Homo-oligomer: A and B are copies of this chain.
Protein backbone atom coordinates (compact mmCIF):
# COMPACT_ATOMS: atom_id res chain seq x y z
CA UNK A 1 0.00 0.00 0.00
CA UNK A 2 1.36 3.42 -0.94
CA UNK A 3 1.84 5.72 2.01
CA UNK A 4 -0.66 8.57 1.68
CA UNK A 5 -1.61 11.46 3.92
CA UNK A 6 -5.21 12.57 3.89
CA UNK A 7 -6.04 15.71 1.93
CA UNK A 8 -8.70 17.78 3.64
CA UNK A 9 -10.69 20.29 1.61
CA UNK A 10 -11.83 23.40 3.47
CA UNK A 11 -14.40 25.73 1.98
CA UNK A 12 -15.67 29.19 2.88
CA UNK A 13 -17.16 32.13 1.02
CA UNK A 14 -14.05 34.07 1.92
CA UNK A 15 -11.28 34.16 4.51
CA UNK A 16 -13.36 33.53 7.65
CA UNK A 17 -13.00 29.76 7.25
CA UNK A 18 -9.29 30.20 7.89
CA UNK A 19 -10.15 30.35 11.61
CA UNK A 20 -11.34 26.75 11.18
CA UNK A 21 -8.27 25.82 9.14
CA UNK A 22 -6.14 27.22 11.96
CA UNK A 23 -7.79 24.86 14.45
CA UNK A 24 -7.41 21.96 12.00
CA UNK A 25 -3.68 22.63 11.57
CA UNK A 26 -3.20 22.59 15.33
CA UNK A 27 -5.14 19.38 15.88
CA UNK A 28 -4.29 17.49 12.68
CA UNK A 29 -0.86 18.59 11.47
CA UNK A 30 -0.26 15.29 9.66
CA UNK A 31 -2.67 16.04 6.83
CA UNK A 32 -2.55 18.20 3.70
CA UNK A 33 -5.06 20.96 3.11
CA UNK A 34 -6.72 22.57 0.11
CA UNK A 35 -8.63 25.74 0.97
CA UNK A 36 -11.17 27.33 -1.35
CA UNK A 37 -12.44 30.88 -0.73
CA UNK A 38 -15.22 32.06 -3.04
CA UNK A 39 -14.16 35.68 -2.66
CA UNK A 40 -15.57 36.83 -6.02
CA UNK A 41 -19.10 35.99 -4.87
CA UNK A 42 -18.97 36.67 -1.14
CA UNK A 43 -20.71 37.41 1.11
CA UNK A 44 -23.08 34.46 1.27
CA UNK A 45 -24.72 35.67 4.48
CA UNK A 46 -27.10 38.10 2.80
CA UNK A 47 -28.09 35.79 -0.06
CA UNK A 48 -30.85 33.27 -0.74
CA UNK A 49 -30.76 29.54 -0.13
CA UNK A 50 -30.86 28.78 -3.88
CA UNK A 51 -27.87 30.97 -4.64
CA UNK A 52 -25.82 29.81 -1.65
CA UNK A 53 -26.56 26.14 -2.40
CA UNK A 54 -25.52 26.52 -6.02
CA UNK A 55 -22.26 28.23 -5.09
CA UNK A 56 -21.48 25.77 -2.30
CA UNK A 57 -22.01 22.71 -4.49
CA UNK A 58 -19.68 24.18 -7.12
CA UNK A 59 -17.06 24.75 -4.44
CA UNK A 60 -17.43 21.21 -3.12
CA UNK A 61 -16.98 19.78 -6.62
CA UNK A 62 -13.88 21.93 -7.07
CA UNK A 63 -12.32 20.58 -3.86
CA UNK A 64 -13.26 16.99 -4.71
CA UNK A 65 -11.54 17.46 -8.08
CA UNK A 66 -8.49 18.67 -6.15
CA UNK A 67 -8.13 15.37 -4.31
CA UNK A 68 -9.91 16.25 -1.08
CA UNK A 69 -10.88 13.00 0.67
CA UNK A 70 -12.99 14.87 3.20
CA UNK A 71 -14.64 18.28 3.03
CA UNK A 72 -15.05 20.82 5.80
CA UNK A 73 -17.73 23.41 5.14
CA UNK A 74 -16.05 26.12 7.20
CA UNK A 75 -18.83 28.60 6.47
CA UNK A 76 -21.84 28.82 8.74
CA UNK A 77 -24.14 30.15 6.02
CA UNK A 78 -23.24 27.38 3.56
CA UNK A 79 -23.60 24.75 6.30
CA UNK A 80 -26.93 26.18 7.45
CA UNK A 81 -28.45 26.50 4.00
CA UNK A 82 -26.85 23.77 1.95
CA UNK A 83 -25.26 20.96 3.98
CA UNK A 84 -27.78 18.41 2.67
CA UNK A 85 -27.37 19.53 -0.92
CA UNK A 86 -23.58 19.45 -0.68
CA UNK A 87 -23.68 15.98 0.89
CA UNK A 88 -26.00 14.72 -1.85
CA UNK A 89 -23.79 16.15 -4.59
CA UNK A 90 -20.46 14.73 -3.44
CA UNK A 91 -18.92 11.32 -2.70
CA UNK A 92 -16.66 12.20 0.23
CA UNK A 93 -17.55 12.74 3.89
CA UNK A 94 -18.75 16.28 4.67
CA UNK A 95 -18.35 18.05 8.02
CA UNK A 96 -20.16 21.34 8.61
CA UNK A 97 -19.60 23.81 11.43
CA UNK A 98 -23.07 23.89 12.93
CA UNK A 99 -23.33 20.49 14.66
CA UNK A 100 -19.86 20.84 16.22
CA UNK A 101 -20.65 24.42 17.26
CA UNK A 102 -23.89 23.34 18.91
CA UNK A 103 -22.08 20.50 20.69
CA UNK A 104 -19.42 22.90 21.98
CA UNK A 105 -22.11 25.23 23.32
CA UNK A 106 -23.93 22.35 25.00
CA UNK A 107 -20.71 21.21 26.66
CA UNK A 108 -20.14 24.49 28.50
CA UNK A 109 -23.65 25.73 29.22
CA UNK A 110 -24.82 25.34 32.80
CA UNK A 111 -28.37 26.65 32.47
CA UNK A 112 -29.01 25.30 28.93
CA UNK A 113 -29.87 28.72 27.58
CA UNK A 114 -27.73 30.23 24.89
CA UNK A 115 -27.52 33.06 22.37
CA UNK A 116 -26.27 32.42 18.82
CA UNK A 117 -25.11 35.23 16.55
CA UNK A 118 -24.66 34.86 12.80
CA UNK A 119 -25.43 36.25 9.37
CA UNK A 120 -28.93 37.06 8.23
CA UNK A 121 -29.11 33.89 6.11
CA UNK A 122 -27.79 31.60 8.86
CA UNK A 123 -30.24 32.98 11.40
CA UNK A 124 -33.19 32.84 8.99
CA UNK A 125 -32.50 29.16 8.31
CA UNK A 126 -32.83 28.32 12.05
CA UNK A 127 -30.23 25.58 11.55
CA UNK A 128 -28.61 26.49 14.88
CA UNK A 129 -31.93 26.55 16.68
CA UNK A 130 -32.69 23.02 15.52
CA UNK A 131 -29.19 21.73 16.32
CA UNK A 132 -29.24 23.31 19.79
CA UNK A 133 -32.74 22.13 20.61
CA UNK A 134 -31.65 18.63 19.60
CA UNK A 135 -28.96 18.97 22.30
CA UNK A 136 -31.60 19.98 24.84
CA UNK A 137 -30.74 23.68 24.85
CA UNK A 138 -32.94 26.71 24.55
CA UNK A 139 -31.55 29.17 22.04
CA UNK A 140 -32.12 32.66 20.74
CA UNK A 141 -30.66 33.50 17.33
CA UNK A 142 -29.65 37.05 16.44
CA UNK A 143 -28.55 38.24 13.00
CA UNK A 144 -25.61 40.68 13.12
CA UNK A 145 -25.11 41.71 9.46
CA UNK A 146 -22.71 44.56 10.20
CA UNK A 147 -20.11 42.52 12.05
CA UNK A 148 -18.61 40.93 8.93
CA UNK A 149 -18.05 44.27 7.14
CA UNK A 150 -16.59 45.73 10.37
CA UNK A 151 -14.12 42.86 10.65
CA UNK A 152 -13.24 43.17 6.96
CA UNK A 153 -12.64 46.91 7.47
CA UNK A 154 -10.15 45.89 10.16
CA UNK A 155 -12.11 47.61 12.95
CA UNK A 156 -11.51 44.63 15.23
CA UNK A 157 -11.17 46.70 18.38
CA UNK A 158 -12.89 49.92 17.38
CA UNK A 159 -15.45 51.96 19.38
CA UNK A 160 -17.93 51.75 16.48
CA UNK A 161 -17.70 47.96 16.42
CA UNK A 162 -18.22 47.88 20.17
CA UNK A 163 -21.29 50.10 19.83
CA UNK A 164 -22.73 47.94 17.03
CA UNK A 165 -22.06 44.74 18.97
CA UNK A 166 -23.72 46.26 22.06
CA UNK A 167 -26.84 47.07 20.04
CA UNK A 168 -27.09 43.53 18.72
CA UNK A 169 -26.26 41.80 22.01
CA UNK A 170 -28.52 44.01 24.13
CA UNK A 171 -31.40 42.85 21.94
CA UNK A 172 -30.30 39.22 22.17
CA UNK A 173 -29.58 39.03 25.91
CA UNK A 174 -33.03 40.32 26.87
CA UNK A 175 -36.28 38.96 28.27
CA UNK A 176 -36.05 35.18 28.57
CA UNK A 177 -32.38 35.20 27.59
CA UNK A 178 -31.06 37.71 30.11
CA UNK A 179 -29.52 34.79 32.03
CA UNK A 180 -28.15 32.89 29.00
CA UNK A 181 -24.64 31.70 29.81
CA UNK A 182 -23.17 31.03 26.36
CA UNK A 183 -22.66 33.23 23.31
CA UNK A 184 -22.11 30.96 20.32
CA UNK A 185 -20.32 32.64 17.41
CA UNK A 186 -22.17 31.31 14.38
CA UNK A 187 -19.96 32.97 11.78
CA UNK A 188 -16.29 32.32 11.12
CA UNK A 189 -15.51 36.05 11.02
CA UNK A 190 -16.56 36.58 14.61
CA UNK A 191 -13.71 34.84 16.48
CA UNK A 192 -11.57 37.89 15.65
CA UNK A 193 -13.97 39.94 17.78
CA UNK A 194 -13.65 37.74 20.88
CA UNK A 195 -11.62 40.22 22.98
CA UNK A 196 -14.14 42.98 22.23
CA UNK A 197 -17.15 40.72 22.82
CA UNK A 198 -15.74 39.54 26.16
CA UNK A 199 -15.90 43.14 27.35
CA UNK A 200 -19.57 43.56 26.58
CA UNK A 201 -21.36 40.28 27.27
CA UNK A 202 -22.95 39.77 30.71
CA UNK A 203 -20.41 38.42 33.24
CA UNK A 204 -21.81 34.86 33.32
CA UNK A 205 -21.35 34.38 29.57
CA UNK A 206 -18.75 32.10 27.97
CA UNK A 207 -17.97 32.73 24.31
CA UNK A 208 -17.79 29.64 22.11
CA UNK A 209 -16.94 29.24 18.46
CA UNK A 210 -17.07 26.17 16.31
CA UNK A 211 -13.46 26.10 15.05
CA UNK A 212 -12.00 23.73 17.64
CA UNK A 213 -15.01 21.46 17.88
CA UNK A 214 -15.16 21.22 14.10
CA UNK A 215 -11.50 20.20 14.07
CA UNK A 216 -12.30 17.49 16.63
CA UNK A 217 -15.20 16.26 14.48
CA UNK A 218 -12.84 16.06 11.51
CA UNK A 219 -10.23 14.12 13.52
CA UNK A 220 -12.88 11.67 14.60
CA UNK A 221 -14.17 11.24 11.04
CA UNK A 222 -10.63 10.66 9.76
CA UNK A 223 -10.27 7.72 12.14
CA UNK A 224 -13.02 5.99 10.18
CA UNK A 225 -11.45 6.54 6.77
CA UNK A 226 -9.05 4.09 5.13
CA UNK A 227 -6.81 6.96 4.02
CA UNK A 228 -6.08 7.78 7.65
CA UNK A 229 -4.58 4.35 8.33
CA UNK A 230 -1.75 4.96 5.93
CA UNK A 231 -1.07 8.53 6.95
CA UNK A 232 1.44 7.57 9.62
CA UNK A 233 3.75 6.19 6.93
CA UNK A 234 4.44 9.65 5.62
CA UNK A 235 4.85 12.00 8.53
CA UNK A 236 6.28 15.36 7.63
CA UNK A 237 7.03 18.28 9.89
CA UNK A 238 4.56 20.57 8.14
CA UNK A 239 1.30 20.05 6.33
CA UNK A 240 1.07 21.02 2.67
CA UNK A 241 -1.24 24.01 2.26
CA UNK A 242 -2.75 25.10 -1.02
CA UNK A 243 -5.16 28.04 -1.33
CA UNK A 244 -7.59 28.96 -4.10
CA UNK A 245 -9.58 32.19 -4.34
CA UNK A 246 -12.08 33.35 -6.95
CA UNK A 247 -11.17 37.03 -6.55
CA UNK A 248 -7.80 38.79 -6.10
CA UNK A 249 -5.11 36.52 -4.63
CA UNK A 250 -3.32 39.56 -3.23
CA UNK A 251 -6.36 40.58 -1.18
CA UNK A 252 -6.90 36.99 -0.05
CA UNK A 253 -3.33 36.83 1.19
CA UNK A 254 -3.51 40.19 2.95
CA UNK A 255 -6.86 39.68 4.69
CA UNK A 256 -6.36 35.97 5.22
CA UNK A 257 -3.22 36.26 7.29
CA UNK A 258 -5.24 38.05 9.94
CA UNK A 259 -7.53 35.02 10.23
CA UNK A 260 -4.96 32.25 9.90
CA UNK A 261 -2.47 33.94 12.18
CA UNK A 262 0.54 33.31 9.94
CA UNK A 263 1.72 34.13 6.41
CA UNK A 264 -0.16 32.68 3.47
CA UNK A 265 1.74 31.57 0.40
CA UNK A 266 0.71 29.67 -2.69
CA UNK A 267 -2.67 31.25 -3.43
CA UNK A 268 -3.98 30.57 -6.92
CA UNK A 269 -6.79 32.42 -8.67
CA UNK A 270 -9.60 30.28 -10.05
CA UNK A 271 -12.78 31.00 -12.02
CA UNK A 272 -15.68 28.69 -11.34
CA UNK A 273 -17.37 28.24 -14.69
CA UNK A 274 -20.96 27.21 -14.21
Binding site for B on A (CB under 8 A): 39-41, 46-48, 50-51, 54, 145-146, 148-150, 152-153, 159-160, 163-164, 167, 246-248, 251, 271, 273-274
Contact check: which of B48, B50, B51, B146 meets A153 at CB < 8 Å? B146
Inter-chain CA distance A41–B271, complex, in Å, is 13
Contact B153 A47 (CB under 8 A): no
Contact A51 B167 (CB under 8 A): no
Chain B neighbourhood of A54, CB < 8 A: 271
- Closest Cβ of chain B: how far from A81's Cβ, in Å? 12
Contact A160 B167 (CB under 8 A): yes
Contact A246-B51, Cβ < 8 Å, known A160-B160, A274-B273: yes
- Closest Cβ of chain B: how far from A54's Cβ, in Å? 8
Inter-chain CA distance A149–B149, complex, in Å, is 7
| Closest chain B residue to A150, Cβ basis | B146
Inter-chain CA distance A10–B145, complex, in Å, is 28
Contact B247 A47 (CB under 8 A): yes
Interface centre among A47, A152, A251 (most CB of B within 10 A): A47
Contact A51-B40, Cβ < 8 Å, known A145-B152, A146-B153, A274-B274: yes
Contact B163 A48 (CB under 8 A): no
Contact B48 A248 (CB under 8 A): yes
Contact check: which of B51, B149, B248 meets A247 at CB < 8 Å? B51
Chain B neighbourhood of A153, CB < 8 A: 145-146
Inter-chain CA distance A60–B105, complex, in Å, is 48
Inter-chain CA distance A273–B273, complex, in Å, is 8
Contact check: which of B145, B149, B163 meets A145 at CB < 8 Å? B149
Chain B neighbourhood of A41, CB < 8 A: 40-41
Chain B neighbourhood of A40, CB < 8 A: 41, 47-48, 51
| Closest chain B residue to A255, Cβ basis | B46
- Closest Cβ of chain B: how far from A250's Cβ, in Å? 8
Inter-chain CA distance A220–B47, complex, in Å, is 37
Chain B neighbourhood of A146, CB < 8 A: 146, 149-150, 153
Interface centre among A46, A47, A51 (most CB of B within 10 A): A46
Chain B neighbourhood of A149, CB < 8 A: 145-146, 148-149
Question: A47-B248, A48-B251 given. 19 additional CB < 8 A pairs?
Answer: A40-B41, A40-B47, A41-B41, A48-B247, A48-B248, A50-B248, A51-B246, A51-B247, A54-B271, A145-B152, A145-B153, A146-B149, A146-B150, A159-B163, A160-B163, A160-B167, A163-B163, A271-B274, A274-B274
